[in-house]
Structure 1
């Protein structure tokens, strides 16, 4: 009854009622697919017409009441809400979840590669007291923005009998099993690392005026951010495809087997 009163009250707000309709419909879609797979009962023709509101046809197909008020009423639904609310305990003020949830994105990179080079000009290894900037190899975590000293003995640590570098150690705390993506700034290369001591090298998302990358920064031509390459790297992280891409690169280039990726 409490839920029924809330739904009737929310009818005065069209946006809230529409949000409830969309949320319930999103739940009913996969449920109807499962129902069809188990029973082979054909769906109604209304669901095949994209111009028809799908809420009522979905409810009728699954045997539910076709109105939102009837759908959320009943002692069974109310018991579920009481059970869920009991998990909150005596919390008087909780953190509100912002809607819609913002999409995860990489750290912002400058358009000009020279700006990125200049930003790390004064970087030195945090593990060495001497002011030797030439020996450090700054690598930027594209996920959190932390600047690390990679593939150098100074920042290697031994954990459980295995010697790992700064980037490999950072993966365990930043992204975990999904893998990490690091930009080796002075080499103009991207390193993909997984939690299983595997990895591969990518060209940095910077190209010259001819659209060519410069791995190792050997030519030294002015480079500019290529948003398409940057989005491709970002999509690997968002879709948790870093480990899959590393395996694919192993099949394409067997030289990856020769690197000690744990030392990166």
Structure 2
């Protein structure tokens, strides 16, 4: 970055000049070189870019929390100020950066927090002249795994699957499931992959003799992979299994048509017809929507209302 006069010069905005002063102040607290601040315009542009990303996340969170929707303005130059107005925070950096005259001033908490960060021992370890890289604020959402075009590739993968807990030679492929969240192959055999877990609710109630719950491989995997939510492809049965194990006492689930269809646009449960199945991009997008919009529990409830037989399945042993 180019060095500039700490006053910001006649061409620098008031906000940029304030950022320069804060840059010098906090670099002093961090025991880092502070005699050559960046140009005011550079600091102001960088601050607004990072604030813009943070405000976008805040707007999305506020929309989900309150149900009040944000309408973006037609003029891109107004997006920043409109987001600030939507969140009921000052849209002017001058208001936030101006030296506070009391603890109730908008800039008081900001300066106190920034000062605390600047005094952190980790910054001193960086040494003079070191530049810390800023990671991107926005993160890509977790996506479902990529699937092969031909279903025969998955069948071959299932036929080679061997369960680590199955000590007797046999056909483990029949019970093989592919986790669509991480790609791990899972075994759903009730006789080799069932595990006992503590009933946490009864333990919290301090009830004597609390029982242990038996859960299957998919239910156990969902606890660590999807925070209690599971989505797996039962390969040889040709079903997508949705699982809601957020409450280990009341695990619910359902089956959906997989994103593989034959030339007539139909699936082949159990591979009974033996028709070649190819990946359907439209079906993949539908699964993506269920995952991205957190619709797994809702979709399970809908399927159970339409098919009462699903209620008789002990999904926790899946």
TM-score range, shorter chain: 0.7 to 0.9
Is the CA contact (8 Å cut-off) linking 1:138 and 1:147 kept in structure 2? yes
Runs of 5+ unmatched residues, structure 1 = 34-46
Displacement of 1:234 after TM fit? 2.3
Displacement of 1:96 after TM fit? 5.5
Displacement of 1:168 after TM fit? 0.8
Over the aligned positions, Cα root-mean-square deviation in angstroms equals 3.6
Structure-1-length-normalised TM-score: 0.77
What are the residue-to-residue correspondences of 1:28-177 with 2, within 5 Å? 50-51=74-75, 53-54=77-78, 55=80, 64=90, 66=92, 68-75=93-100, 76=108, 77-83=110-116, 90=122, 92=125, 97-98=135-136, 100-133=138-171, 136-160=174-198, 161-177=212-228
Which stretch has the larger CA shift, 241-250 or 107-116? 241-250
Q: Mark the CA change 1:221 to 1:139 in structure 2 (over 3 Å): closer, same or farther.
A: same
Q: Bigger radius of gyration, 1 or 2? A: 2
Displacement of 1:218 after TM fit? 2.1
Structure-2-length-normalised TM-score: 0.66
**SS of corresponding position for 2:256:** strand
Is the CA contact (8 Å cut-off) linking 1:207 and 1:225 kept in structure 2? yes
Runs of 5+ unmatched residues, structure 2 = 1-17, 24-36, 64-70, 101-107, 127-131, 199-211
Is the CA contact (8 Å cut-off) linking 1:142 and 1:183 kept in structure 2? yes
Displacement of 1:207 after TM fit? 0.5
Q: Mark the CA change 1:69 to 1:114 in structure 2 (over 3 Å): closer, same or farther.
A: same
Query: In 1, distance between residues paired with 2:185 and 2:58?
Result: 46
Q: Deviations over 1:60-97 (max 9, x none)?
A: 9969474x3554333413123224556x6536478953
What are the residue-to-residue correspondences of 1:233-252 with 2, within 5 Å? 233-252=287-306
Q: Which residue does 2:235 correspond to in 1? A: 185
Is the CA contact (8 Å cut-off) linking 1:137 and 1:152 kept in structure 2? no
Query: In 2, distance between residues paired with 1:111 and 1:231?
Result: 14
Query: In 2, distance between residues paired with 1:166 and 1:14?
Result: 53
**SS of corresponding position for 1:186:** coil
Picking from 174, 191, 211, the partner of 2:265 is 211
Q: Mark the CA change 1:212 to 1:69 in structure 2 (over 3 Å): closer, same or farther.
A: same
Query: In 2, distance between residues paired with 1:24 and 1:106?
Result: 25
